[in-house]
Amino acid sequence: MKIVVLESLGVAESDAKLLIQNHLGQANEVIFYSRVDDVEVLKERVREAEVLIIANMPLKGEVIRAAGKLKMISVAFTGVDHVDLEACRERDVLVCNAAGYSTPAVAELTFGLILSLLRNIVPLDKVTREGKTKEGYSQSELRGKTLGIIGVGAIGIEVAKIAQVFGCNVIAYNRSQKPFLKDMGISQLSLDEVLSQSDIVSIHIPLNQETKGLISKEKIELMKKNSILINTARGPIVDNKALAEALKEGKIVGAGIDVFDIEPPLPLDYPLLHSPNTTVAPHIGFASKEAMVRRAEIVVTNIRKWIDGNPQNVI
């Protein structure tokens, strides 16, 4: 079987090779490539592949259709909105994701962004190095705040658990009812109620046709004036232009953003780069060393399970 790895899995190539050998045996042909975005190059690379492994690089339909022998794609990512699933269905190609690999990493970054904003850590680092003091910068505690979670999948639940340890009141919005939330002491409310009642709103839903632009200008205007918005999910879920305007106009007090409409590097005129009280990161939520090891293991296990006729993490 020919397995083509189209981009780095975030672990050493030697470790990835060993992992594949241990799980799949040595009879397979495995080819590793560095990431490229040239469609024609990608078509040639996938032409004979039976299995593809990718992380978050876009995989267009024309590339998938060029892979005449392709049977399975193992995605080293939770979201698969960067893969043309219609082309996969058309070609009867199985797609599996790396569900759960980044849950601890994203949840922890969520609180890194929250605490950075509440304590003004980033700007105070700068002024301290300039020989200045905290004068003019507020300091707020997380304890006692109402944290609203949008999307209570694995990451949302992990965030809820950590928030409760910090002493937060947790409320949540989810498209479907989650009866177990009541046992956790979490109220499940409408989206508008979560936005209007929360001191901190944290987004943990996948990107799809229903969620794209969900946090619109109108939804942002429902938030408290002293609230902050955290997005470690997917950039297009939020109208980032409207968010930047809301921050500049003082309609909300801050934002912690790890994901954008495009993958970093961002253009220097990107609106959120010039908004006040904003902590931004270049999409690092998933990228802890530990998470990279977990996802490589899941990606290869997905292939093993598929070979055995018992596929897991199927999209």
- Active site positions, annotated: 234, 263, 283
58, 77 Cβ separation under 8 angstroms: no
DSSP annotation of 263 reads P
Cα dist from 20 to 30, 35, 226, 304, 309, whole Å: 8, 19, 50, 9, 18
99, 79 Cβ separation under 8 angstroms: no
177-207: buried (b, 16+ CB within 10 Å) or exposed (e) per residue?
Answer: ebeebeeeebebbebeebbbbbbbbbbbbeb
DSSP annotation of 144 reads T
Q: How many CA atoms lie within 13 A of 121 on its CB side?
A: 12
- What gap in Å lies between CA 11 and CA 298, rounded to an integer? 13
Give the CA angle between residues 109, 113, 117 to the nearest 5°. 165
Name the E strands within the chain: 2-5, 29-32, 51-54, 72-75, 94-96, 146-150, 169-173, 187-188, 200-203, 228-231, 254-257, 278-280
Sign of the alpha-carbon dihedral angle for 290, 282, 3, 80: positive
The CB density around residue 225, as the number of other CB atoms within 10 Å, is 9
